[in-house]
Amino acid sequence: MKTLGNILWFLFGGFLLWLEWVLAGILLCITIVGIPAGIQCFKIAGLCALPFKKEIVHEPIGFGNTFFNILWIMVFGWEIALTALLSGLLWCITIVGIPFGKQFFKLAAISLFPFGTKAVRA
């Protein structure tokens, strides 16, 4: 059932969020300084492509994660989080779309603070 959910997810909204993360990763990898952030973008893009079989694990907060999260919010984070939040609200209008809306809300939180989080198989 999760495989069917992932296929439907990618076709009906996950592609847009995945594309935003990939474009952010490409733009960040163009610069030498942004490569660590670009790699994190590609990891989260993989989560955006197939979110139903993965759980989010938060690592201990350190200075580096906090610093990069603040920079991330100022540059890319709020746009991607807003896209995920609005998509989640649209999906939650119908009862059938609530599982998709919950995934969008999960990804909206990650979009604001991507550093210090990683996706693991459930």
Token pair, residue 7, equals 């296929």
Q: Is the pLDDT assigned to residue 100 strictly greater than 80?
A: yes
Q: pLDDT tens across 71-90, in order?
A: 888 888 888 889 889 989 99
Is 54 or 45 the better-scoring residue by pLDDT? 45
For the chain, domain boundaries: 2-121
Token pair, residue 12, equals 């009906």
Please list the alpha-helical segments (H only) found in 1-122.
Answer: 2-9, 15-30, 35-49, 63-72, 78-91, 98-112
Q: Is the pLDDT assigned to residue 1 strictly greater than 70?
A: no
Q: Is the pLDDT assigned to residue 111 strictly greater than 70?
A: yes
Quote the radius of gyration of the chain (alpha carbons, Å).
14
Q: Determine what percent of the chain is predicted with pLDDT higher than 90.
A: 15
What φ, ψ does residue 56 adopt, rounded to 5°? -100, 135
Residue 118, beta-bridge partner list: 57
Q: pLDDT tens across 53-74, in order?
A: 788 888 887 888 888 888 888 8
Task: Give the pLDDT score at 116.
Answer: 84
> Cα–Cα distances in Å, from 51 out to 1, 33, 71?
13, 29, 25
Question: pTM for this structure?
Answer: 0.81
What φ, ψ does residue 97 adopt, rounded to 5°? -85, 0
